[in-house]
Structure 1
Amino acid sequence: MTVLTPSPIHSDPEVMGGTLVFRNTRVSTQTLLDYLDDGFSLEEFLDNFPSVDRQDALAFLGHKNLEK
């Protein structure tokens, strides 16, 4: 039996114009990428955006790494 897990990323035209956000938040995935590009750690991002679940952020980053 296959168990489906909810996606950590959500897009809804009614939420931030359809921008990709972490589920159950209004925090865009681009915000995380910008933080990391600016030299901040994942911990600093999570401290500043406590509504983002750690596992969701890690899943998103893992997916981004697979795209390379």
Structure 2
Amino acid sequence: MTSTSRVVHSGPDILGETPVFVGTRVPLKTLLDYLEAGDSLDKFSDHFSSVSREQAIPALELAKEMLQQLYSF
């Protein structure tokens, strides 16, 4: 499983404990919202340049792994 500490983190001093990309204040949910709306990863990256592809892709892999564990796909 991908290490969450390298990709996202949360804490009481960071957007009310909302999971954000490490080193940013960009919520992981923002990436998921972009993709849900049909936008590309490139468009997200253009709008949130503080989040690298090297962070975004593992975050998506982590979300996938968590869903697979939750629903035992």
In the alignment, the residues of structure 2 paired with residue 40 and residue 47 of structure 1 have an alpha-carbon distance, to the nearest angstrom, of: 11
TM-score, normalisation: structure 1: 0.86
* 3-state SS, counterpart of residue 59 of structure 1: helix
Number of positions where the alignment pairs a residue of Structure 1 with one of Structure 2: 64
Partner in structure 2 of residue 52 of structure 1: 51
State the identity as a percent. 42
More helix by share: 2
Q: Which structure would you say has the larger RCO, counting Cα contacts within 8 Å and 6 or more residues apart?
A: 2
CA offsets 1:7-31 (integer angstroms, 9 cap, x no match) = 1101011010010000010000000
2-structure distance, mates of 1:22, 1:51: 9
Q: TM-score, normalised by structure 2?
A: 0.81
Structure 2: gaps spanning 5 or more residues: 69-73
